[in-house]
Amino acid sequence: MGERRVAFADRREQMGYTQESFGRAVGVEFSTVGRWERGELTPQPYRRPRIAQVLKVSLAELEVLLSPSRRARSLELTTSPRYTPSLDDALSALEAVALVDNGADTKPGMRVFEGRLPAQAVRAWRFGVEHFDMPTTGAPTSVRDIDEIKATTTALDRLDRQFGGDYCRGLAVKYLTSRVLPTLRRPASDSVRRELFQASAVLAEVIGYMAYDSQFHRLAQHYFVHSLRLAKEAGNPAYGSFVFATMSHQALYLDRPDQALALARAAQETASSSSVAAVKTEAAMLEATASAALGDHRGSTEALRRGEKSYDHHGSADETPYWIAHWDDAVFASFASSAWLDLGDVRAAEPYLQLLADRAQGQVRREVFAAGQRAKAALLEQDVERCVHYGTMAAKAAAAANSKRSHHIVRDLLSQLEGHRQLRPVRELTETVVTLLPSEAP
């Protein structure tokens, strides 16, 4: 029996075909499709143009999809991100994603959010049976290797928060492919292996967040789902909760509050046995924000109360894992202000807006977000001049950020001011954006 063609099967599913309907579309029996996907048969050359046409890929891309999963390194991310029980397949897929990411700006489709992933990832995390089927080779992994990965990831995360997702993703991806992925395939004791997979899960999530910040949403989803699989191998449900929370954050940003709510609840369920208060707090605050976006006032305020109660138990830095050390009063305030503003309650949001503004210095994304939230509050109070004042602050901060997400905050603010375009302050803000952020100008 040959090796499974995971990428080929994923592409078929992404295009909405069962094996039977795909077989009808390309002129073969469904059993033949199954044998193609299991690697028992290879499509004859004369069938390939029709297969490529049905899958909407080029013949060159079809060759990649027909490669065995372990060797599909030049995959163009035509397949959907997918949580896989096989550790060997997961690492091969993560390697393929990272290699493609080296030229992300030229790859179409990476910006498209895969709407079916959240539900699939939640089901697989809850009910899937994982397989440690990965062969190992080379010198044993040491604690020193793990310490290096943690320190490097922490430094990369700090640079991302300070300057934005476009600043150092290439460096992070190169480190993942050249150093971390080979280390994951080396032998290790059980305790060292768990720590190694945990450290690697953190790096994958950090790179995913960088991709999300750069508007490569499907690319980010690939990293997030592989981070989940690594966290599962590490036996760390608290970190799994953290990744689900990150995925919820992305869904909220993309105006998918129903999916954000489901992911936030998955994060809460996953964190239920955790002693890390910040993880539980973030999950509750994301539920509050998603509920507010859905217009559920009661659900949002109840989740806010749970988040506040949980955050009261937020411990000292010595008790907080390094991967959530950034969680502080300002992060809490960002969620709380978003929820209250979505509910239209500027007065309740005000103390959080002030705290967020006071703690924003030195992190450009936070500066843009804080100013953008102030502008949103002013617009809710129909104070256009004050809205423009904070909008100008957001635009100036965004000009210094290697963060497309920050730029889009300014663009969205201009869209909200469309009905006031005739006013001089709004025209001046538009001119400022044209000068500082020409790609986001209307």
Residue range 331-344, pLDDT digits in tens: 999 999 999 999 99
CB burial string 169-180: b at 16+ within 10 A, e below: beebbebbbeeb
Whether residue 289 contacts residue 339, with contact meaning beta carbons closer than 8 Å, is answered with yes
Lowest-confidence region among 1-5, 184-188, 334-338: 1-5
The distance from CA 106 to its chain's CA centroid, rounded to whole angstroms, is 20
pLDDT tens-digit map of 249-308: 999 999 999 999 999 999 999 998 888 899 999 999 999 999 999 999 999 999 999 999
Q: What is the pLDDT of residues 208-239, one digit of tens each?
A: 999 999 988 989 999 999 999 999 999 999 99
pLDDT of 46: 87
Contact in structure between 218 and 170 (CB atoms under 8 Å): no
Q: Is the pLDDT at 73 greater than 50, yes or no?
A: no
**Rounded mean pLDDT, 161-165:** 87
Q: pLDDT per residue over 25-38, tens digit each? A: 999 999 999 999 88
Give the global pTM: 0.80
| Rounded CA separation 314/156 (Å) | 25
Query: Using CA atoms in the order 58, 64, 65, 71, what is the torsion angle rounded to 10 degrees?
Result: -170
Please check whether residue 98 is in contact with residue 173, taking contact to mean a CB–CB distance below 8 angstroms.
yes
Distance CA 79, CA 367 (A): 36
pLDDT, position 398: 93
DSSP alpha helices (H): ranges in 66-135?
87-101, 117-127
DSSP summary character for residue 112: S
Cα–Cα distance list, 136 to 14, 130, 223 (Å): 32, 17, 22
Question: pLDDT digit string (tens) for 126-142?
Answer: 887 777 778 888 899 99
Which pair of structure tokens corresponds to residue 84? 């896989």
CA 296 to chain centre: 25
Q: Give the whole-angstrom CA distance, residue 245 versus residue 304.
A: 15
Q: What confidence tier does 106 reach under pLDDT thresholds 50, 70, 90?
A: very low
Residue type for position 404: K
Q: Tell me what the mean pLDDT of segment 200-207 comes to.
A: 98
